[in-house]
Chain A
Amino acid sequence: MSVDEMEKPVGVSETDAEAGGEAAAGEAEYTERGLRELVDQSIIDVESDEKQIFAKADRGVEPPASLGLEVGRASDIFEKEGFAQQVQAMKGKISALVSATKEKLAKLIGGKQGEGQGQRTKPEIPAEVPIADNTVALEAIVEESPSVAAEEEKTAAPEAKETPDQREKRERKEYLEKEVFPKLGLTKEDEERTIAEAPVEKREVAEHSFANVRATVEAFMKSYSELGIVDDRALQEDRVRAEKEAFREIVPKYRAAFNFELSDSDLETMFDDKDGFRKFEQLIYEQYRAAGTWDDDHYNTNIALHNEWGKDFNNRTQDLSVFRRKLPREELVEALHKEFDSVENNHAITINIGWESLMATLREGEFKTVAQLTPEQIETLRRKSYREISSFYLDQRKKTEDLLGFKENDRVVYGALANSGGDEGRRGGAPTYGDIFLEMEDDPGITYTEGDSYNMNASPTQNEKDFDYRPDFKGIKRQAYGKTALISKAVDNVEGSVSERLTGTRAGLVYIEAQIPNPTLDRIKRIRVPKKFETTILAGLTELSDGDKWKEKISIIEE
């Protein structure tokens, strides 16, 4: 819808105008019916805007066939160079704007967003409804003409207005609420109890963590039992096959266009080579170049044939849907419930740390955040771990912490929610941050995010979640609290094992991040030290006045 269209006199139905009402020209005569029709039409238009923009974007994402670039390369560039994420982010923003606008419009005539656009719904609210910055008092339309009321009855029937997508979503939600959430402690009652038990300053976090984690479970079920996840290995194999087939097909045309020496057996070797087609083209070029006969015509012929090969290759690749793998939902739910039981009893809040940082922390008697480090310490960190601590980073980190609900003067130390067994039991939840890990006491102030709160983590489940992508604040819609974090952990564990089983590649989050506000050293339960650091650490502790106290907390991890 263009802004021009919005400038037309509104609130006048065409019918009214045609009937010769005063509204036909000049002064607009506002009628309720006219307004309703206008709002209905605008909702349809807004939806149509979204569809058109997305269709345009989707067309743009398809690599132009004329370019002759292999689908595999185009798709790699799209996924790995961040375009996929950016497109998804922008689409998310547009969808959010469209939804919000539809909802505001629907409220004008007493409807609810999602009740079926373009249809009249009876207003429920003889109340004040905020619209943009204005507040308009509305009164219920009590009397309707019998014909309008009958029409509404007809159009309001849920089965008439539910699209297949909406039905699928509703059925999924019903299934989750009945079969999945109760055993995970994700019901409304669980939510109310958790909120009541949470410290006052964490209640808001507790509340939205339930919505977030329900969305995670839903996205997980959708990804793994409905859409299916892409088996990349099979996809690559298919592309290699398609490349080779297209290569075999195009060779006679190269033979017709160029004179070159290549035995049948050498050509067969090239057919078997993953990079054979490029080598084939290179060979022709080099022979011409050696003879001094390569010219623009040869160049153009090569490009044309190369493009033809590219198109043929594209046509020979199978549709992405062929490579999607999924499991029956009952199987997933059983695995999720089982994993949740296991995580509930076997988890730890860990902080991975290097041995030098550990010694500095114990010596100084407090945890320091990166914001408290001296310039020298920042430089050491940069040199040793290649982590850049820029003022931009610190600023963004602070903004993220504000958004996650921490107070201005909170010193947030980052850890992870780890399995207490298996690999994480031996290495901690975030081993890239150090070989040693501390196991911390639980605390009602601790919050969690599914993945790093600062960076986005990509996993099939997280990709399916309905994020409001804001480049600066990435953690909020992945925030979990208390028991809901254990559910996130269980989902991530099951996602890891199921994806590995289905595709041979493990998908999932890097970790469930734990944000620990103002931890004191007496919250350390155990210091887990790999055997190879035992001597160094024990020697270091002898230099501390309270070294003996810390020695008691050391727990060596045998090789």
Chain B
Amino acid sequence: MTDWKALAAAAEPPVPEDLLPDVIPALEKLEAAFRPLERALPPDTLLWTSCEDDA
């Protein structure tokens, strides 16, 4: 999983320390839910552009 704390420190400007408790856990939780969806992507999948292409 991503080291969000390291990313936050490396960002320009860095994420302020006082915001980290509200930034890092939320991203960790979101990433945990997102990675399995990302891994299951069929290789020929295009970007979503509008709901006209759904059928």
Do A and B interact? no
B-to-A contact residues, CB < 8 Å: none
